Amino acid sequence: MSGFREAFLYVVILVLGSFLVAESAIGVNWGTVSFRKLKPSTVVDLLKDNNIEKVKLFDADPEVLGALMGSGIQVMVGIPNEMLAAISSSTAVSDLWVRQNVSRYVVKGGVDIRYVAVGNEPFLTSYSGQFQSYVIPALLNLQQSLAKANLAGYVKLVVPCNADAYESSLPSQGTYRPELTEIITQLLSFLSSNGSPFVVNIYPFLSLYGSTDFPQDYAFFDGSTHPVTDGPNVYGNAFDGNFDTLVAALNKLGYGQMPIVIGEVGWPTDGAISANLTAAKAFNQGLIYHVLSNKGTPLRPGAPPMDVYIFSLLDEGAKSTLPGNFERHWGIFSFDGQAKYPLNLGLGNKELKNAKNVEYLPSRWCVADATKDLSGVANHMRIACGVADCSTLNYGGSCNGIGAKGNISYAFNSYYQLQDQNAQSCDFDGLGMVTFLDPSVGDCRFLVGVTDTSSGFGPCPRRIMIWILMIWGLCVFLI
């Protein structure tokens, strides 16, 4: 009983603290879709060294949450869309999820979980409504489960939405997509009743990438030669225009004062013409200064978003490239925790600090043997790039101009590092050779892998967890 009382008092203290301190802050998204992951403890140290006090996760990886224990970092854990059907089916399933992923960690010296993200952009147009009917039932079940765990007043449920949930030609005319009006109204009612913010993901880069007519300078924060005039308001950047479109859409449904959190915003550094280090630095630095200035937007002057989570902390080399090759290059740090460019997060350090004590494989690389006939190498390259990440070789990528032999070497090396530098993995029917001279050229960096001492909570265990919840939900339904 004393242990329960201690835990309860800890939660009470946290809740009281949340009312006393409600400052906006810059946080980061920590995604883990990578071939080679830094140890979670190394990443947590990286967060602490950079004074980053808020982090958003896309699942509830027990190894990641274990590393966050006692860190003092405020955490948003995520529930993948694939789990929504099972969680919406019964409170027994949601009780299980909350027990395993929230209440076990919110203890003295534990993890400061502030939010649970229920799904990730479940209303996305490309999903064609497949997750839509599960969102509200899942929220209701999870809220009930949090109440049973005495956490409903502290841990807030949110639903990160893509900016495609709303639309307009001018910010003041913003409305939600007609087919979403009913469910968004239900969502807003739930969020308002429980003191939760509306979480939205805004990506000016994607607007620029997807339209040749989009003015490039409108994506940044230095003013635009193509500002948007909306009555008395003039918008010099896409972020403010998008944000106020959401404000207008909220206002039309009667929730114009709802707090807004930016769940994802950022700029990639590779994989497309407009994705590079210079642009990424300009956008992210401009965004941070803009938000922390407290200037706000024309429809919310002096009231910037509650919190802004930069996307993302680290590059994720195993992500799908269907949206574009840039998808693996959003990190402000490379996969090994090294800063890509100077960035002041406004959190005390003027520049980013690199990860410490990173364990690398030996400094050697696999390259094409120039003395061999490489005319029959195409199939080897397909195999190598089908397994490893070769996205920087494509049009707009940092390695796009290194020539045919360079392309072969890059593909060979990417595969070789992924195979822990196994000698056989550099054979390629005798076309590959190991070198101790770094073959990197200019901005094209030939990577050396990190020693993967983290077991991680990879795709297979996560799928198993999804299936367990789905089967549990079906059993409860049948009974």
d(CA 202, CA 243): 8
User: Residue 478 forms beta bridges with which residues?
Assistant: none
The candidate with the shortest Cα–Cα distance to 29, out of 312, 344, 343, is: 312
d(CA 210, CA 382): 27
The candidate with the shortest Cα–Cα distance to 29, out of 190, 196, 206, 265, is: 265
The candidate with the shortest Cα–Cα distance to 362, out of 290, 430, 434, 301, is: 434
Distant-in-sequence, close-in-space partners of 396: CB < 8 Å, separation ≥ 6: 271, 272, 273, 274, 275, 325, 326
Residue type (1 letter), 386: G
CB count within 10 Å of CB 438 equals 12
Residue 238 in tokens: 């896409």
Question: Cα–Cα distances in Å, from 283 out to 41, 83, 137, 263, 311?
Answer: 29, 34, 38, 16, 12
The candidate with the shortest Cα–Cα distance to 330, out of 279, 292, 291, 288, is: 279
Max CA distance (Å), the chain: 75
Known catalytic residues are 121, 264
Under DSSP, the state recorded for 99 is I
d(CA 237, CA 218): 5
